[in-house]
Amino acid sequence: MVNIVASAGRNGVHDFILLRASAIILVLYTLLLAGFFVVTPTVTFDIWQDFFACTGVKIATLLALAALLAHAKIGIWQVLSDYIKPPFLRGALQFFFSVLLLVYVAAGFLIVWGV
């Protein structure tokens, strides 16, 4: 039996399900935002701020952010493992992008909750 070291304990089915689930979450979040623009005739800063002050929208935004993180992490791993052959360079790039994605999530959390 061959062990694939690059997958870090995951298998293709796990990645496939995560990608599809995160894509569904992102589509639902996009529909939420599109619905807001459809039902709101004039979007002002106050209306936009009130919309994002709602706890449900904050939770949906963080869920979409987490889905985007999972989607991007798997996508970056797939692209790097396909196109970057030197293991050290691939590992360094994966580390860089993982840290960058975590910074994005932290920034998103701080922006949404206003901490």
Binding residues for a ubiquinone: 83
Residue numbering of the annotated binding site: 71, 83
11 in helix, strand or coil? Answer: coil
Largest CA distance in the chain: 61
Of 73, 76, 65, nearest to 105 by C-alpha is 65
Q: Which residues are annotated as a binding site for heme?
A: 71
Which residue type occupies 81?
A: S
